[in-house]
Amino acid sequence: MRTPPLIFGEVLFDHFPGGETVLGGAPFNVGWHLQAFGADPLMITRIGADDQGARVAAAMRAWGMDDTGVQIDTARATGRVDVAMSGGEPSYTIRTDAAFDAISAAALPPITGAALLYHGTLALRENTCRQALETLRQFCGAPVFLDVNLRAPWWTREQTLDLIAHARWVKLNIDELDALAEGEGDAVSRAHRWIDSFGLGLVIVTQGAEGAFAVEPSGRVTRPAPPRPGTVVDPVGAGDAFSATVITGLLNGWDLETTLDRAQAFACAVVGRRGAISADPRHYREFIRAWDLGVTVP
């Protein structure tokens, strides 16, 4: 039995103007997809002792996810994002003082090993959570997959570069690379300078409809053909689907071009439906079979 990946960070609900609530949060979405792909991740997060926290716990149990890393906070509410629409475009207000801001080092579960440690950047806006990540990082000793998610005003360049310095693999979008990687040169050369500066094993940059590219320490650049355009129903969660597929590739030893091709394909499938995750196993069936993951598909 292989050791599971650890997924650290926020779980929250998006609240829409009409009253609809959608379960999500980048780390939670990644963990949800990885569970479908047979990776059995351990999700480390914190939820409130409230109705929405109960919904998170129930969803995880129904999906078969390990909830031993879920902490319960009696003082803070489960994470919430208020979504407003203006001219057909959404804007987001991320509530402060959320339960996920208080992930505690003292309440971390016993961990005997980990294939890798995934985390983003949003959940690290408070010191308590940053300390918990540092404790986990030192204790488990697993290589880190950093999924950069810059959400104003909850990030600084200095803090984000420090996180990059502790990672082995970094994935971010082209706008985030522009915001963080100063200096002359195109995106590929700036990504490669990061590899030299921080000792990274891989930098992956997504570019929306233009696809993605990856840079390795050797200088090799992998740039698969951009995905075929399809119907975009809901773009939320595309990056999380991409990250989950890349991690699946790392866990299963796929070559890099195959990994990026599959990541683009799964991200396209996710944006073609409503919601970043699905509780319908059929949504994952064709990918599980095509990728020969050996997971039982209902």
Q: What pLDDT digit, counting tens, does each position of 51-99 carry? A: 999 999 999 999 999 999 999 999 999 999 998 877 656 678 899 999 9
Positive or negative, the CA dihedral 254, 259, 265, 271 is positive
Report the alpha-carbon distance of residue 175 to residue 258 in Å, rounded.
Answer: 24
SS (HEC) of 231-254? CCCCCCCHHHHHHHHHHHHHHHCC
Give Rg (Cα) of the chain.
18
Mean pLDDT of 267-286: 88
pTM: 0.95
| Measured CA distances, 121 to 4, 129, 200, 206, 292 (Å) | 21, 11, 18, 17, 32
Domains and CATH numbers, the chain: 6-290 (3.40.1190.20)
3-class DSSP assignment, residue 292: coil
Q: What are phi and psi of 64, to 5 degrees?
A: 85, 15
**pLDDT cut 90: percent of the chain above it:** 78
| Chain length of the chain | 298
pLDDT tens digits, one per residue of 18-50:
888 889 999 999 999 999 999 999 999 999 999
pLDDT tens digits, one per residue of 93-116:
899 999 999 999 999 999 888 999
Mean pLDDT of 176-188: 90
pLDDT tens digits, one per residue of 190-222:
999 999 999 999 999 999 888 999 999 999 999
The pLDDT score that the predictor gives to residue 87 is 66
> Contact, 118 vs 243, CB < 8 A?
yes
Q: How confident is the model at residue 237 (pLDDT cuts 50, 70, 90)?
A: confident
> Which residues on adjacent β-strands are paired with residue 118?
7, 145
The pLDDT score that the predictor gives to residue 188 is 95
